[in-house]
Structures are given as C-alpha cells and as structure tokens.
Amino acid sequence: MIESYSFGSMTITGQSHRNDLKIIENKIVGNWWRREGHALYAQDIDDILYASVETLVVGTGAYGGMKVTAEAAQAIEGQGISLVAVPTKEAVSIFNSLHAQGKRVAGAFHLTC
C-alpha cells in the first residue's frame, strides 16, 4: 500500500504526501496534527482506537524523534490493539507486510525527524 518513504515524503497508491498522516481501514487521513508535535497522546489517535484494527504501527520519524507516551500506549493496549512503534522507514516495511498478510492494521506516520 505504501510505495515509498523518504524524509518528509510518503507515496501511497500514487499520491505524494508531505505531511504526517494516518492510515485507518485503508483510508488516508492526511495533515495529521498532534497535541504536541513530537509526542503521541491517545487523543491524537482517537479514530484509530475506535476502529476495527488488530495492530497500530507508529512511524516515529526518520530518527525516532516522536515518542509514544505511556498514556497513549496504555489506551492502545486497553483497546486490545498491538502497538509497534519504530522509526518511519522500518514502520513502512512492517505496515506493508501486515497489510499484505490481510491483517487489520492502522498506521500513524511522522514523516520528518
């Protein structure tokens, strides 16, 4: 589903995205803003928490600059969703692999730092 990623840019099904984004149930939610730019809180992913997903793959940025807060991790796990939080390049690979396996996977991707 995700064709490519490089610092600040992601291509999904032929469309280039230059802002952080989420993928939920095969839909792209672009221009994703968080409460704090380099921290992920539960309110930043409310839509994912209530979606029908098994796994949430969080791309923490090219250098892992975005951190998943304990509060967000607890909310994710509380919904029975597995959490994978890794730098975005690795997250893209994991997301694509799970998607190809037919898993119900969502993604939340920080495209820069």
φ/ψ (deg, to 5) at 18: -115, 5
28-43 pLDDT, tens digit per residue, is: 999 999 999 899 999 9
Any residues with CB less than 8 A from the CB of 33 and at least 6 apart, and which? 20
- pLDDT tens, residue by residue, 70-105: 999 999 999 999 999 999 999 999 999 999 999 999
Q: What is the C-alpha to C-alpha distance for residues 36 and 41, in angstroms, rounded to an integer?
A: 8
Amino acid, single-letter form, for residue 93: S
pTM: 0.97
Give pLDDT, residue 37. 85
One-letter amino acid at 67 equals K
Percentage of residues of the chain with pLDDT beyond 90: 98
pLDDT of residue 18: 97
Which of 105, 109, 76 lies closest to 92, judged by CA? 109
What's the fold here for domain 2-109?
Hypothetical Protein Mth938; Chain: A, (3.40.1230)
**Span 42-67, mean pLDDT?**
97
Domain layout of the chain by residue ranges = 2-109
